[in-house]
Amino acid sequence: DKKYLMIPGPTPVPPTVVAAMSQPLIGHRSDDFAKLHEQIVGKLKKVLQTNNDIFVLTNSGTGSLETAIANTVNPGDKVLALITGNFGERFANIAKAYGAKVDEVDFGWGNDVDLKVVEEKLAADSGYKVVLATQNETSTGVKNDIAGIAALVSKTPALLLVDGVSGIGAIEHKTDEWGVDILCTASQKALMLPPGLSVITVSEKAWRVVNDNQSPRFYFSLPAAKKVYDKWNTAYTPGVSMFLGMDAALDMMLAEGMDNVYARHALLAKATRAAAKALGLKLLSEDRCASNALTAVWSPEGIGADDIRKVLKKQYGITFAGGQGKLKGKIFRIAHMGFSDKMDIMIAISALEMALAQVGYSVELGTGVKAAQEVFLGKV
Ligand code: PMP
């Protein structure tokens, strides 16, 4: 059966990237690997819009989040966590695991970070060492205003740590212009790779904190990574095949042009949202803060989201993601990030219409498909 993976990570990997990953292995202390590593860092600088230090780590996205925390947070430090869903909570939990006093501000699932609240928090307490934010909250399909948050945090001594795991490559992120101190992302989302690598950037302002930090760190030590970077490339044995794939994936993105990559994601999100609305479905996020990487949709009244997902999977080979935590069974999430284009959306929406009809939701077939087509033809 033909399968369509439409979850927010792992996402489909382009054949060119798969081919690059199946090249013969090279030693990681060879000139060839050193060159590959240098190329990748150069390409990442363009994608992430930064001249800060960049480290490609062999671990999943959470590894980069833990690296960010382990290198900036000591027990008792004050941390401001801006939470808009499951992944904002996770970032806060990592800080707690390192003994921080975490001030958790929960903006409610489906909402974005309210800049006024951030401004008030920073004005009321000048003691925050670190502020945590999520660029793209995968659990709710909400995009946060990192530029706005960074403008507030950069006026204070605090560092801004951003979880860009599911947004980088789908939503533009101006690391240096905005003043993001540490940006974390991972391979298996909009970067079009399998899971296994994460990326972290470190600003000058961050290094001053990182170099003095006292928390235990070994595999996740940024000073150790920097030392080896200057001498070789990566500490320990990197995921060599994944690096070969990353080089190819970054080439694809840069060849398309980052503006085009972001415009494609915006178009796919627009079509998906238009289709869901045309089918009478409610979306978790307002258009204003809607993610271009994925769309989270409420299941219709009285119908379990997982029943819809079961039909989609069994009869059409399509996997949508379900809800996490308190949203379990209530929502489904359609990813349109990375190696995704117009016809992926057409497949997703036409199958969704059939599945809705099959679980007893009254739907006029073709309504969602038409709405998406109209977006693609530029009619709306
Ligand atoms: N943050 C965000 C925003 C994510 O979407 C994810 C993965 N869904 C993670 C962190 C965790 O990444 P990983 O599963 O690769 O550790």
pLDDT digit string, tens, across residues 81-140: 999 999 999 999 999 999 999 999 999 999 999 999 999 999 999 999 999 999 999 999
Measured CA to CA, the distance from residue 266 to residue 273 in angstroms comes to 11
Phi, psi dihedral angles at 257 (to 5 degrees): 95, 125
pTM, two decimal places: 0.98
What domains lie within the chain, and their CATH numbers?
15-255 (3.40.640.10), 258-376 (3.90.1150.10)
Q: Residues 237-289: pLDDT tens digits?
A: 999 999 999 999 999 999 999 999 999 999 999 999 999 999 999 999 999 99
Cα torsion 98, 100, 103, 108 to 10°: value is: 0
pLDDT digits (tens, 9 = 90+) for 207-243: 999 999 999 999 999 999 999 998 888 889 999 999 9
Measured from the CB, is residue 179 less than 6 Å from ligand 1? no
Q: What would the mean pLDDT of 141-168 be, rounded to a whole number?
A: 98
pLDDT cut 70: percent of the chain above it: 100
The structure tokens listed for 351 are: 């199958």
Sign of CA dihedral 202, 204, 205, 208: positive
Residue 166 CA, ligand 1 centroid: distance in Å: 7
294, 279 contact by CB (below 8 A): no
The rounded Å distance from CA 184 to ligand 1 centre is 10
Confirm or reject: Cβ of 194 under 6 Å from ligand 1: no
Shortest CA distance to 150 belongs to which of 182, 120, 190? 182
**What separation in angstroms does the CA of 215 have from each of 200, 221, 229, 366?**
18, 10, 21, 57
Please name the residues in contact with 173: beta carbons below 8 A apart, sequence gap of 6 or more: 48, 49, 135, 146, 162, 164, 167, 180, 183
Mean local confidence (pLDDT), 26-32 = 94
Q: Is 134 in the pocket of ligand 1 (CB under 6 A)?
A: yes
| Alpha-carbon span 19 to 338, nearest angstrom | 17
- In sequence order, what E strands does 44-203 have? 53-57, 78-83, 101-106, 128-134, 136-137, 142-143, 159-163, 182-186, 198-202
Distance CA 203, CA 6 (A): 34
The mean pLDDT of 26-47, rounded to a whole number, is 96
Q: Is 166 in the pocket of ligand 1 (CB under 6 A)?
A: yes
Per the annotation, binding residues are: 333
Quote the longest CA-to-CA distance of the chain: 64
Residue environment code for 256-274, b if the CB has 16+ CB neighbours within 10 A, otherwise e: eeeeebbebbebbbbbbbb
Overall residue count recorded for the chain in this entry: 380
- Over residues 127-156, mean pLDDT: 98
Encoded tokens for 350: 């036409």
